[in-house]
Structure 1
Amino acid sequence: MIFDTSIPTMRKKAIIRIKHLLEKNAKIEVLEKKSNRTYSQNNYLHLILGYYAIQYGETMEYVKQIIFKQWVNEHIFKTEFINYKTGEVREAWRSTAALNTKELSEAIERFRNYSVKSLGIYLPEPKDIVHLEEIENFMEENRIYL
């Protein structure tokens, strides 16, 4: 369980839980959980990916996996792993959930630049609430295309 120790009631629950585990002589691991990115950053990403997908005529999944990750941000998402049985080096693609706030911000900015240069599609900045609301409405009207 994750306890937010900045909240007094959660702090008390965490202390009770740790005391209980100590009484049981249990093996425990205590880790600091850091937020990878903000909820609004994730929502913003999906909003601009969806808008781009409708404008481009593709599915949002295609835009996210191929255009956003592989074409525009390969240096952030592409990784390698070694098949432990064959020793073969294979490529893999990181999930956006694995990125921290800074990495995701860079990936989004590169995608925004790519969008305007390649197709002339302007994707607003996160603080451009009016334009983002227009895109949200547009996507609701065109959801069947995603």
Structure 2
Amino acid sequence: MKYNPTRPDDRRKSVVYFSRLNAGDKPFEMRLIDPKRSSQQNRYFHLLLGVLSKETGYTLSEIKTIVKRTVCNEMFIYRKPSLDKEGVENLFLKSSADLDSKQMTEVVDTLRHWSSETLGIYLPLPDEDNWLQLENELENE
């Protein structure tokens, strides 16, 4: 069961449920739920990538890799130790699904700023009227 501790009713229900589990004789598990990025954030991020793909001539996959490796690398690149004796670290790219909602907001803000400043390409905010029009155009291509 999921409970939101910021809601008084959920807090009360969670205490009751925990007491019932704790009084029993069966093992149980408690864990925190990471606030993963929302599906709306993911849709918006991919829309922005689609706009950049259309404007630059790169494929969606190429634009995504460029963004992950250069524009927002601190969010997407992680390191693992080398498998060989040389000790060179291996670099890997995370999926956007591994980001939480705060990180995804930072990625989108960084991407929009970079696109405007570096490429001169304006990327719409999610609440702008032309956002849905762009989405429809990209889906129809």
Q: Place the TM-score, normalised by the shorter chain, in its bin.
A: 0.7 to 0.9
Q: Deviations over 1:68-118 (max 9, x none)?
A: 111211122222111356454211122211112121111111111121223
User: Residue 72 of structure 1 aligns to which amino acid in structure 2?
Assistant: V
Rounded Cα–Cα distance in structure 2 between residues aligned with 1:88 and 1:120: 37
Rounded Cα–Cα distance in structure 1 between residues aligned with 2:82 and 2:30: 31
CA deviation after TM superposition for structure 1 residue 35, in Å: 2.2
Instruction: Tell me the secondary structure at the aligned position of residue 70 of structure 1.
Output: helix
Matched, 1:62 2:62: yes
TM-score normalised per structure 1: 0.73
Instruction: Tell me the secondary structure at the aligned position of residue 58 of structure 2.
Output: coil
Go from structure 1 to structure 2 and tell me whether the alpha carbon gap of 1:95 and 1:140 turns closer, same or farther (over 3 Å shift): closer
* Structure 1: runs of 5+ lacking an equivalent: none
Residues 106-121 of structure 1 mapped to structure 2, 5 A cutoff: 106-121=106-121
Instruction: Tell me the secondary structure at the aligned position of residue 126 of structure 1.
Output: coil
Give me the CA root mean square deviation: 2.9
Rounded Cα–Cα distance in structure 1 between residues aligned with 2:83 and 2:70: 28
Partner of 1:83: 82
Instruction: Tell me the secondary structure at the aligned position of residue 91 of structure 1.
Output: strand
CA deviation after TM superposition for structure 1 residue 46, in Å: 0.8
CA deviation after TM superposition for structure 1 residue 42, in Å: 0.9
* Structure 2: runs of 5+ lacking an equivalent: 5-9
Partner of 1:48: 48
User: Residue 41 of structure 2 aligns to which amino acid in structure 1?
Assistant: Q
Instruction: Tell me the secondary structure at the aligned position of residue 90 of structure 2.
Output: strand
Instruction: Tell me the secondary structure at the aligned position of residue 35 of structure 1.
Output: coil
Partner of 1:4: 2
Partner of 1:132: 131
User: Residue 70 of structure 1 aligns to which amino acid in structure 2?
Assistant: R
TM-score normalised per structure 2: 0.75
Could you tell me the percent identity over the aligned residues? Answer: 27
What number of residue pairs does the alignment pair up?
Answer: 131
Instruction: Tell me the secondary structure at the aligned position of residue 92 of structure 2.
Output: strand
User: Residue 118 of structure 2 aligns to which amino acid in structure 1?
Assistant: S
